[in-house]
Amino acid sequence: MSRAASLPITVREIAKSYGNVRALDRVDLDVRSGEFLTLLGPSGSGKTTLLMVMAGFVRPDCGSLRFGDDEVIRLAPHKRDVGMVFQNYALFPHMDVAANIAFPLRLRGVPKAEAARRVEQALAMVQLAGYGARRVDQLSGGQRQRVALARAIVFEPRILLMDEPLSALDKQLREHMQIELRRLHEQLGMTTIYVTHDQREALTMSDRVAVIERGRIAQLDAPRRLYERPSSRFVAEFIGESSFLPVARVDGGFAYDGRRLALPDGPAPEGKCLLMLRPERLRVLGAGPPAGMNLLGGTVENVVYQGDTYLLQVRLKDGNAVGARGVSTGTAMAALPPAGADVILGLAPEDTILLPDEGAPP
Amino acid sequence: MSADAGPNAAGLARDARVERVVLLGLSLPALALVTVTMILPVGWLFWLSFLADDGSLSLVHYQRLVEQPSYARIFRTTFEVSALATLICIVLGYPLAYVLSQLPPRVAGVAMIGVLMPFWTSILVRTYAWLVLLQRRGLINTWGMELGLWDEPLALVHDLNGTLIGMVHIMLPFLVLPVYGSMRAIDRDYLKAAANLGAGPARAFRLVFFPLSLPGLMAGAIIVFILCLGFYVTPAVLGGGKVIMVANRIANDIEIFFNWGAASALGVVLLVLTMLVLWAASRLLRLDRILGGHGT
């Protein structure tokens, strides 16, 4: 199997309501050809609905969907020619592994010998060579996942859709499969839409991530930008850990707790603002803090040992709680102030992110 | 107890034994019932079939079954009528179960009451009701002729037609229920996957839905066929003496000739043939799946 041709996907104003619940609220989305794009959101945000609209299993109320130049919004699912990996894999229990993978080839009239060759190839690609004669119920979860993947790519679709394909696997296997899916994507190059609610998975695998909030795309960006420059409190809270502090506007800048904040270049948001704090970006400072950092003073409430990292829970002077995380080396642990001690936390200007304050989250 | 038994080994082993005894105790009433109502009478039947009229051990009843061609004919009729009734049940019941399985569960529940309604009336009442409907001057013939659909009364009863109509009516729920159950159990994602991989509705049905519903269909067909083999009331009332099945002959032998031995021999042969059918079906279709096991 070689690099297949891939297609861009264009989504315009797709809306879908169930009763008075808006699952999709006039969504626009441009997926680049060959891109690995993840739809990330909490359950009920509409990410799966959007994927199902692309596969043709959900009929939207309105909107346009193009694969390349072709409008497909009214095309029946079996004519769309996209591969799909289902959350529960949906492997046919009355067929063995080889017959499952050969199914799309059989429907396309591929001659038997040719189909058998391509099945073997697909099995080798997902590292299950020789498993063709197994029954589906003889496979482990991870193996089923691979067979489902082989079945979805064996007919060389130009678009691949995946609906939380790793959610049923345990953590170690999931992390292993994430890297493998990424490798397969690089090898095959088909445009891939991946649905997950696991932010870490999204950041690990994707070229770009679309964060979905109540039927709308809240932010669409590359993983690093999404993490470091979230556009809203919702995105910041959904991706990674964070805490928020109210900041005051002072003549052309911002201040927290009376101290003026050193900010990165670029425009600050309008209106009321919040300071976003990522625990791992806060540094515990000893005597003689380095110049140029924003400083936060407080009292240590608790030191939590978490294996690879520690978490220092700090109560700031105004009563807000923040966390500071670091690698739990022996030196770092020894240098940590004990509970009850005063501490100064430092935040580099490039990590000092202001977000518009939209009011308390629901 | 072995020397290296861990702490409390003896006590834990006794707990396990007690649990087994309790379980056995709970199943005892049912076992006793089956023994009294099933195994004893069948054993007695079996014993009677080997006794000649003078009370000596003999194969005379079985000899008659083999020698008299009328018996072979009765068995053939029984199997033919049962097979035909089963076939008609499949043709009528499978699409019905399919429609029910596609309805939203709540609507399907209401529709299922319609399917099960016949169960709430006795077979005898239903059979006589058909007699009223189907006879020469019955409702169907009267209306059919008044509407000009046919000129002469159709022969709908007192023959094979009537027997089949009655049997199918009674048996249909036994087919619909397991088929419906197996269809409901088919994950819709299988059909989505089939569509996604390129199968239109017809091919998705033929290649995925139908094979997955097959265990239920087979279970239903076997239940219907085996129940049909033992039918008595319906052929007696609606067959008009033209459809004589094994059960009718058994009744005759006992009521008219008081020949318990002959009747018992018929019963034993029918029982053996039924078991053969079940055995063949299980070989053919893996009964463990049909009876609800998961297979391996």
Q: What is the pLDDT of residues A117-137, one digit of tens each?
A: 999 999 998 889 999 999 999
Q: Domain check: are A268 and A223 in the same one?
A: no
Task: Say whether residue A151 is in contact with chain B using an 8 A CB cutoff.
Answer: yes
User: How far is B52 from chain A, CA to nearest CA, in Å?
Assistant: 53
Q: Which of A234, A255, A270 is the last residue of a domain?
A: A234
Sheet holding A191-196, edge to edge: A83-85, A159-163, A191-196, A36-40, A208-213, A216-221
Mean per-residue pLDDT for A173-180?
Answer: 89
Return the percentage of chain B with pLDDT > 70, whole number. Answer: 95
pTM for the structure as a whole = 0.81
Which tops the pLDDT comparison, B54 or A32?
A32
Q: Domain check: are A76 and A223 in the same one?
A: yes
Tell me which residues of chain B, numbers 143 to 202, contact chain A at a CB-CB cutoff of 8 Å: 187, 189-190, 192-200
Q: Is the pLDDT of residue A30 over 60?
A: yes
CATH number of this structure's domain B77-290, picked from the four choices 3.40.50.10800, 2.60.120.380, 1.10.3720.10, 3.40.50.150: 1.10.3720.10
| pLDDT tier for residue B210 given thresholds of 50, 70 and 90 | very high
SS3 A246: strand
Note whether A90 contacts B212, CB cutoff 8 Å: no
| pLDDT tier for residue B292 given thresholds of 50, 70 and 90 | very low
Mean pLDDT of chain B: 87
User: How far is A343 from chain B, CA to nearest CA, in Å?
Assistant: 53
Q: Domain check: are A223 and A289 in the same one?
A: no
Q: What is the pLDDT of residue B140?
A: 87
Task: Say whether residue A90 is in contact with chain B using an 8 A CB cutoff.
Answer: yes
Q: Domain check: are A228 and A248 in the same one?
A: no
pLDDT tens readout for residues B26-66: 999 999 999 999 889 889 888 888 888 787 888 888 888 88
Q: What is the pLDDT of residue A267?
A: 79
Which tops the pLDDT comparison, B51 or B83?
B83
So where are chain B's domains? Answer: 77-290
Q: What is the pLDDT of residue A223?
A: 96
Q: Is residue A2, in this structure, part of any structural domain at all? A: no
Q: Is residue A207, in this structure, part of any structural domain at all? A: yes
Q: Domain check: are A89 and A177 in the same one?
A: yes
Q: What is the pLDDT of residue A314?
A: 95
- Among the partner-chain residues B187, B192, B198, the one whose CB lies closest to the CB of A108 is B198
Rounded Cα–Cα distance for residues B218 and B277 (Å) = 13
Q: Is the pLDDT of residue A214 over 60?
A: yes
| pLDDT tier for residue B151 given thresholds of 50, 70 and 90 | confident
Note whether B208 contacts A57, CB cutoff 8 Å: no
pLDDT tens readout for residues A76-86: 999 999 999 99
Only one residue has tokens 């396990």, namely: B16
Q: Is the pLDDT of residue B295 over 70?
A: no
Rounded Cα–Cα distance for residues B24 and B16 (Å) = 13
Q: What is the pLDDT of residue B66?
A: 86
B204 CB contacts (<8 Å, ≥6 apart)? A78, B191, B194, B195
Mean per-residue pLDDT for B225-252?
Answer: 87
Q: Domain check: are A301 and A197 in the same one?
A: no
Q: What is the pLDDT of residue A2?
A: 52
Q: Is the pLDDT of residue B2 over 60?
A: no
Only one residue has tokens 């020619």, namely: A81
Mean per-residue pLDDT for B157-180?
Answer: 91
Q: Domain check: are A350 and A298 in the same one?
A: yes
Q: What is the pLDDT of residue A258?
A: 81
pLDDT tens readout for residues A38-76: 999 999 899 999 999 999 999 999 999 999 999 999 999
User: How far is B283 from chain A, CA to nearest CA, in Å?
Assistant: 18
Note whether B195 contacts A83, CB cutoff 8 Å: no
Question: Which one of A54, A57, A82 would you mutate to disrupt binding with B, by most B Cβ within 10 Å of its Cβ?
Answer: A57
Q: Which residues of B touch A83 (CB under 8 A)?
A: 196
Of A76, A164, A94, nearest to B190 by C-alpha is: A94
Joined together, the tokens standing for residue B32 give 């006793």
Rounded Cα–Cα distance for residues A138 and A160 (Å) = 26
Q: Is the pLDDT of residue A109 over 90?
A: yes
Q: Domain check: are A61 and A208 in the same one?
A: yes
Q: Domain check: are A49 and A129 in the same one?
A: yes
Q: Is the pLDDT of residue B296 over 50?
A: no
A160 CB contacts (<8 Å, ≥6 apart)? A82, A83, A84, A85, A152, A153, A188, A190, A191, A192, A193
Which tops the pLDDT comparison, B215 or A270?
B215
A65: Cα separation from own chain's centroid:
22
Q: Which of A176, A204, A234 is the last residue of a domain?
A: A234
| pLDDT tier for residue B122 given thresholds of 50, 70 and 90 | confident
Q: What is the pLDDT of residue A34?
A: 93
Quickly list H helices, chain B.
Answer: 9-34, 40-48, 60-67, 69-102, 105-116, 123-134, 139-146, 160-184, 188-196, 201-204, 210-229, 233-238, 246-255, 260-285, 287-290
> Where do the DSSP E strands lie in A19-61?
21-31, 36-40
- Among the partner-chain residues B189, B195, B296, the one whose CB lies closest to the CB of A78 is B195
Q: Domain check: are A77 and A143 in the same one?
A: yes
Note whether B193 contacts A84, CB cutoff 8 Å: yes
